[in-house]
Amino acid sequence: MGFALDERLENSSWFIEDWPLCRVSLKRDRTWPWLYLVPRRPNIREIYELNMIDQVDFVREVAMAGEALKLLYKPEKINTAALGNMVPQLHVHVFARFKEDAAWPQPVWAVQSAEIPYTEQEKSAEIQKLKKCFEGLRRGDKTACHQ
pLDDT band of residue 43 (cuts 50, 70, 90) is very high
Section 129-147 average pLDDT: 95
DSSP element (H, E) containing 22: strand 22-27
Mean pLDDT of 42-70: 98
Answer whether 62's CB lies under 8 Å from 19's CB: no
Which of 100, 115, 89 lies closest to 36 in space, CA to CA? 89
Mean pLDDT of all residues in 30-38: 96
CA distance 139 to 86: 36
CATH superfamily of 7-102+110-145: HIT-like (3.30.428.10)
Please list, residue by residue across 83-112, b when 16 or more beta carbons sit within 10 angstroms of its beta carbon and e when fewer do.
eeeebebbbbbbbbbeeebebeeeebeeee
pLDDT in tens, 58-97: 999 999 999 999 999 999 999 999 988 899 999 999 999 9
Q: Pick the closest to residue 14 from 118, 144, 139 (CA basis).
A: 118
Give residue 122's pLDDT.
97
Lowest mean pLDDT of 77-81, 89-93, 110-114, 121-125, name the range. Answer: 110-114
As a whole number of angstroms, the distance between CA 83 and CA 127 comes to 25
The pTM assigned to this predicted structure is 0.95
Label residue 1 by pLDDT band (50, 70, 90).
low
**Residue ranges per structural domain of the chain:** 7-102+110-145
For 38-62, what is the mean pLDDT? 97
Is the Cβ–Cβ distance between 87 and 103 less than 8 Å? no
Distance of CA 9 to the CA centre of its chain: 11
